[in-house]
Amino acid sequence: MHVNDASTDVLRTRVSGDVLTASDAGYESARRVWNAMIDRRPAAIVRPRNAADVAVAVTFARERRLPLAVRGGAHSVAGMGTCDGGIVIDFSSMKAITVDPETRTARAEPGVKWVDFDNATQAHGLATTGGTVGDTGIAGLTLGGGFGWLEGAYGMTVDNLLAADVVLAGGDQVRASADENSDLFWALRGGGGNFGVVTAFEYRLHPVGPMIAGGMVVHPYSAARDVLRFYRTLLEGAPDPLTAAAAIMTGPDGQKACAIVCAYAGPLEEGLRAVEPLKTFGSPVLDAIGPIPYLGQQALLEQAMPPGVHNYWKAEFLDRPTDGFIDTWVDAYSRVVSPMSFLLLFPIHGAAARQPVDATAFPNRGGIHLGIYALWKPGEAEAPNVSWVRETWTRIQPFASGGLYVNEIGGDDGQDRVRQAYGPNYARLAAIKAKYDPENLFRLNANVEPAAV
Ligand SMILES: Cc1cc2nc3c(=O)[nH]c(=O)nc-3n(C[C@H](O)[C@H](O)[C@H](O)COP(=O)(O)OP(=O)(O)OC[C@H]3O[C@@H](n4cnc5c(N)ncnc54)[C@H](O)[C@@H]3O)c2cc1C
Whole-number pLDDT of residue 6:
65
- 63 CA to middle of ligand 1, Å? 27
In this predicted structure, the answer to whether residue 3 has a pLDDT above a threshold of 90 is no
Whole-number pLDDT of residue 88:
98
- 6 CA to middle of ligand 1, Å? 33
- 317 CA to middle of ligand 1, Å? 19
Average pLDDT of 104-119?
Answer: 98
- Binned at pLDDT 50, 70 and 90, residue 8 comes out as confident
- Secondary structure in 3-state letters for 140-152: HHHHHCCCCCCHH
Ligand 1 atom nearest to 132, measured from its CA: 8
Whole-number pLDDT of residue 346:
98
Is 363 a pocket residue for ligand 1 (Cβ < 6 Å)? no
Average pLDDT score, the chain: 96
Helix axes 383-396, 323-334, angle to 10 degrees: 170
pTM of the model: 0.97
Q: Tell the residue nearest (CA) to atom 23 of ligand 1.
A: 140
Burial class for 431, CB neighbours closer than 10 Å (0-12, 13-18, 19+) = middle
Is 234 a pocket residue for ligand 1 (Cβ < 6 Å)? no
Q: Are 198 and 161 in contact (CB under 8 A)?
A: no
**Inter-CA distances, 288 with 28, 252, 277, 278, 284, Å:** 40, 15, 13, 10, 10
Is 371 a pocket residue for ligand 1 (Cβ < 6 Å)? no
Contacts of 342 (CB under 8 A, 6+ apart): 247, 248, 249, 250, 304, 373, 375
Q: Tell the residue nearest (CA) to atom 6 of ligand 1.
A: 131
Q: Which residue has the higher pLDDT, 4 or 246?
A: 246
In this predicted structure, the answer to whether residue 180 has a pLDDT above a threshold of 90 is yes
Q: How far is the C-alpha of 435 from the C-alpha of 259, rounded, in Å?
A: 46
Q: Which amino acid is at 145?
A: G
- 284 CA to middle of ligand 1, Å? 33
Whole-number pLDDT of residue 2:
63
Is 110 a pocket residue for ligand 1 (Cβ < 6 Å)? yes
Ligand 1 atom nearest to 136, measured from its CA: 26
Nearest to 315 by CA among 398, 397, 244, 221: 397
- Round to the nearest angstrom and report the end-to-end CA distance of the chain: 27
Ligand 1 atom nearest to 71, measured from its CA: 30
Question: From the CB of residue 268, how many other CB atoms can be counted at a distance below 10 Å?
Answer: 17
Measure CA 38 to chain center.
Answer: 17
pLDDT digits (tens, 9 = 90+) for 359-408: 999 999 999 999 999 999 999 999 999 999 999 999 999 999 999 999 99
Pocket test for ligand 1, best of 54, 147, 303, 407 (most atoms within 8 A of CB): 407
Contacts of 243 (CB under 8 A, 6+ apart): 148, 149, 150, 151, 152, 262, 263, 265, 347, 349, 350
pLDDT digits (tens, 9 = 90+) for 20-73: 999 999 999 999 999 999 999 999 999 999 999 999 999 999 999 999 999 999
Is 266 a pocket residue for ligand 1 (Cβ < 6 Å)? no
pLDDT digits (tens, 9 = 90+) for 250-266: 999 999 999 999 999 99
Q: In what order do the strands lie in the sheet with 197-204?
A: 97-100, 105-108, 197-204, 161-167, 173-177
Q: Are 183 and 432 in contact (CB under 8 A)?
A: yes
Pocket test for ligand 1, best of 34, 53, 54, 76 (most atoms within 8 A of CB): 76
| Runs of H (alpha helix) within 348-440 | 351-354, 383-396, 415-422, 426-436
Q: How far is the C-alpha of 418 from the C-alpha of 410, rounded, in Å?
A: 10
Whole-number pLDDT of residue 1:
56
Contacts of 61 (CB under 8 A, 6+ apart): 67, 68, 86, 87, 441
Whole-number pLDDT of residue 111:
98
Q: Tell the residue nearest (CA) to atom 51 of ligand 1.
A: 75
Is 148 a pocket residue for ligand 1 (Cβ < 6 Å)? yes
In this predicted structure, the answer to whether residue 197 has a pLDDT above a threshold of 80 is yes
Is 186 a pocket residue for ligand 1 (Cβ < 6 Å)? no
In this predicted structure, the answer to whether residue 241 has a pLDDT above a threshold of 60 is yes
Is 445 a pocket residue for ligand 1 (Cβ < 6 Å)? yes
Name the DSSP letter for residue 287: E
Is 140 a pocket residue for ligand 1 (Cβ < 6 Å)? yes
CA angle 129, 286, 376 (to 5 degrees): 70
Whole-number pLDDT of residue 409:
93
Is 168 a pocket residue for ligand 1 (Cβ < 6 Å)? no
